[in-house]
């Protein structure tokens, strides 16, 4: 329905080009809602309407999505692909072949692995033309450091790296120049919201900005969310309030190994989520462990988990060792703790890097 109670509609023929005008900050939410209504027209471009609004193309006036007004959008049909936009800019077929093949729109920011593409600034401008709701394009160069901090570069747009991304109804506020967000984990985030039971007790050992915490809490779980990166923790707290789950999320800025003893004394968790890739690495005294390998997290997870509880263990695993290595590590840790493991499911989440997969193992621990 119209935000201001007044809808401006044209009475012209059905071949008119309609657009719903929405505020820029909520454009992604509106697009998701319009898609759900079945009226979003993805054959036309989203265009700026005023300084603080965009015109989102629709096939009919929305009935469920909030908007300011419905207008007749005059303009050319959308150039459907990045290749189209680059070709219009005079790029050769060889240059286009080196252009990025994938990217993600996160709120008002386009996040792209630029690779060896020529003229990154032109790629950025083309992506802004392709995604009218976006205002900044960031080239992603990798993740490093103890706090898993991203290395990014603004290649087009106004340079604002703070945004709010909406995914399956969950809202994530973040600064993509300071905290990581993996678009490839979208299905796994949604799965965690589907898999929990209302009021069950969950420990999210590496909560970040709330990647898994938020969908689980929105589904009714009581989540203890632990994050030691101060910037990520700030966004975690903000996102808890943004999603109205403050009564179901208990955030701690700490090392999860320091939280587990008190948590276990207060009654163990029905479910533990280990979303950090290196959390199952061998102990530091194991010669096979890389110099910076995290250790003892798996032991802490088992200490926190109630008998019959479920553990979700994420790992970056060489393709040749999927799923054998993470299962072997889990079973070895459980045996040492005097516990039995039943593997419930395995998931290949995404490609982590060349020859390495991001996987997750779901296990019941007795």
| Residues 119, 114: Cα–Cα separation, whole Å | 10
Instruction: Note whether 123 and 233 are same-domain residues.
Output: no
Which of residues 160, 192, 218 is at a domain's end?
A: 160
* pLDDT one digit per residue (tens) for the chain, 366 residues: 444 433 333 333 344 688 999 988 788 788 888 888 889 987 777 877 887 888 888 988 999 888 888 888 655 555 578 998 899 899 999 999 999 988 999 999 999 999 889 999 999 999 998 888 899 999 998 776 666 778 899 999 999 999 999 998 999 999 999 998 988 899 999 999 999 999 999 999 999 999 999 999 999 999 999 999 999 999 999 999 999 999 999 999 999 989 988 776 777 999 999 988 777 766 554 444 443 333 468 999 999 999 999 999 999 889 999 999 999 999 999 999 999 999 999 999 988 888 999 999 999 999
**Are 225 and 186 members of one domain?**
yes
Quote the domain boundaries for residue 221. Answer: 182-365
In terms of DSSP H, where are the helices of 275-346?
297-304, 324-336
Task: Kindly state whether residues 93 and 241 are assigned to the same domain.
Answer: no
344 and 217, same structural domain?
yes
Token pair of 291 as six digits: 């110099």
* Residue 354 assigned ligand-binding role: no
The answer to the question of residue 116 being in a domain is yes
Cα separation, 37 vs 33, in Å, equals 6
Residues 129 and 214 grouped into a single domain = no
Q: Are residues 195 and 303 in the same domain?
A: yes
Are 319 and 249 in the same domain?
yes
Single out the residue in 45, 72, 99 at which a domain terminates.
72
The rounded distance, in Å, linking the Cα atoms of 134 and 272 is: 36
Tell me: do 126 and 200 sit in the same domain: no
What's the CATH code of the domain at 142?
3.30.300.110
Q: Check whether 353 is labelled as a binding-site residue.
A: no
Task: State whether 54 and 111 are in the same domain.
Answer: no
The residue assigned the tokens 């553990």 is: 311
Closest by CA to 126, choosing from 114, 143, 140, is 114
182 in a known ligand binding site: yes
Answer whether residue 166 is part of any domain: no
Tell me the pTM: 0.78
Is the same domain home to 206 and 298? yes
Cβ distance 263 to 203 under 8 Å? yes
Q: Tell me: do 66 and 91 sit in the same domain.
A: no
Residues 155 and 190 in one domain: no
The number of folded domains in the chain is 3
């Amino acid at each position: 329905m119209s935000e201001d109670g007044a809808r401006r509609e044209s009475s012209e023929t059905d071949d008119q080009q309609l657009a719903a005008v929405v505020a820029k900050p909520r454009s992604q939410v509106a697009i998701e809602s319009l898609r759900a209504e079945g009226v979003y027209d993805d054959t036309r471009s989203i265009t700026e309407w005023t300084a603080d609004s965009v015109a989102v193309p629709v096939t009919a006036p929305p009935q469920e999505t909030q908007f300011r007004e419905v207008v007749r959008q005059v303009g050319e049909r959308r150039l459907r692909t990045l290749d189209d936009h680059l070709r219009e800019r005079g790029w050769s077929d060889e240059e286009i072949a080196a252009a990025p093949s994938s990217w993600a729109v996160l709120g008002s920011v386009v996040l792209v692995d630029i690779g060896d593409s020529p003229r990154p600034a032109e790629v950025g401008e083309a992506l802004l033309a392709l995604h009218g709701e976006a205002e900044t394009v960031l080239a992603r160069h990798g993740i490093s450091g103890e706090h898993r901090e991203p290395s990014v570069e603004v290649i087009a747009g106004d340079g604002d790296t703070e945004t709010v991304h909406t995914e399956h109804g969950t809202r994530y506020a973040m600064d993509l120049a300071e905290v990581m967000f993996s678009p490839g984990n979208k299905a796994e985030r949604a799965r965690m919201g589907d898999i929990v039971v209302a009021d069950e007790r969950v420990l999210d050992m590496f909560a970040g900005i709330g990647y898994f915490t938020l969908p689980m809490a929105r589904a009714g779980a009581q989540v203890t969310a632990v994050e030691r990166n101060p910037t990520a923790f700030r966004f975690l707290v903000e996102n808890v309030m943004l999603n109205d789950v403050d009564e179901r999320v208990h955030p701690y800025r700490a090392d999860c190994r320091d939280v587990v003893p008190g948590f276990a004394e207060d009654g163990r968790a029905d479910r533990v989520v280990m979303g950090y890739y290196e959390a199952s690495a061998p102990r530091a005294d194991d010669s096979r462990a890389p110099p910076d390998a995290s250790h003892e997290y798996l032991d802490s997870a088992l200490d926190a988990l109630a008998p019959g509880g479920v553990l979700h263990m994420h790992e970056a695993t060489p393709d040749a060792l999927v799923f054998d290595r993470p299962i072997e590590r889990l079973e070895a840790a459980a045996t040492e703790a005097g516990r039995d493991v039943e593997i419930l499911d395995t998931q290949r989440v995404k490609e982590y890097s060349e020859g390495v997969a991001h996987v997750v193992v779901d296990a019941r621990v007795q």
